[in-house]
A and B are shown apart, each in its own frame.
Chain A
Amino acid sequence: MKEIEKWIEQFRKIWEARFNQLDHLLSTIKKQKK
């Protein structure tokens, strides 16, 4: 079960990293629109 915990943590980190990149992208696009 430890591997499952590890995988879940990696899964969470992947999405967290993606979301941060999406935040940055949305912010960039909004600035370009202004």
Chain B
Amino acid sequence: MNSNLLFDFSVNRENKTIHVIREFNGDLELVWRAWTTAELLDQWWGPKPCKVETKTMDFRENGFWHYAMLIPTGEKYWSMVNYISIIKEKSFAAKDGFCDENGAMDPAFPQNLWQNNFRVKGTKVEVDMLFTFDTLADLQQLIDMNFKEGFTTGLQQLDELLLMLSNK
């Protein structure tokens, strides 16, 4: 991680929220584009060694981003981000969750609300993210699903990668 850039991560169990703040070096137009276009999202959204492939991106209110997360074992996990509100270069809110290849949401799994706010801070842009889970049970269900579907395989490799990078 670039130590010059703010990264704050906090969990509020009472409110069932996770709050993340991160600064980025770049102008607002570029940072916004990185978060809202498939061309750029595909290049960074998949945490290595996972990759992301966008099937459809329709970034507008009531639009959606439908993508697959490819994990190193060769499996694909489909996700959908449904955009609720968008204020260009200021904020967007969305609900995300798991779906199938055709974009049908899986009702067995909860969706979480996700709000992103963008603020210019000098030569940097601060992105403020708030994830809200409906219930602790929802969070638990996501945890169960992650373990059941073997998503942790990719995460374990990510752990190894992060360890390797931190030792450099």
Which A residues are within 8 Å of any B CB, using their own CB? 3-4, 6-8, 10-27, 29-30
Q: How far is the CA of A27 from the CA of B40 in the complex (A)?
A: 13
* Interface residue from A11, A21, A22 paired with B18 (Cβ < 8 Å): A11
Q: How far is the CA of A4 from the CA of B13 in the complex (A)?
A: 10
Chain B residues numbered 125-154 whose CB sits less than 8 Å from any CB in chain A: 136, 139-140, 142-143, 146-147, 152
A27/B48 contact (C-beta < 8 A), A4-B139, A15-B20, A16-B7 known: no
Which B residues are within 8 Å of any A CB, using their own CB? 1-2, 5, 7, 9, 11, 18, 20, 22, 24-26, 30-31, 34, 40, 43-45, 47-48, 136, 139-140, 142-143, 146-147, 152, 155, 158-159, 161-162
Binding site of A, secondary structure by majority: helix, strand, loop or mixed? helix
B26 and A30 within 8 A (CB)? yes
Q: Which of B5, B26, B47 has the most CB of A within 10 A?
A: B47
A19/B143 contact (C-beta < 8 A), A26-B31, A27-B25 known: no
B158 and A7 within 8 A (CB)? no
A16/B18 contact (C-beta < 8 A), A4-B139, A27-B25, A29-B30 known: no
Contacts of B161 in A (CB 8 A): 17
- Closest residue of B by beta carbon distance from A14: B47
- Closest residue of A by beta carbon distance from B9: A12
A23/B24 contact (C-beta < 8 A), A8-B11, A14-B158 known: yes
How close is A16's CB to chain B, nearest CB, in angstroms? 6
How close is B150's CB to chain A, nearest CB, in angstroms? 13
How close is B51's CB to chain A, nearest CB, in angstroms? 11
B155 and A21 within 8 A (CB)? no
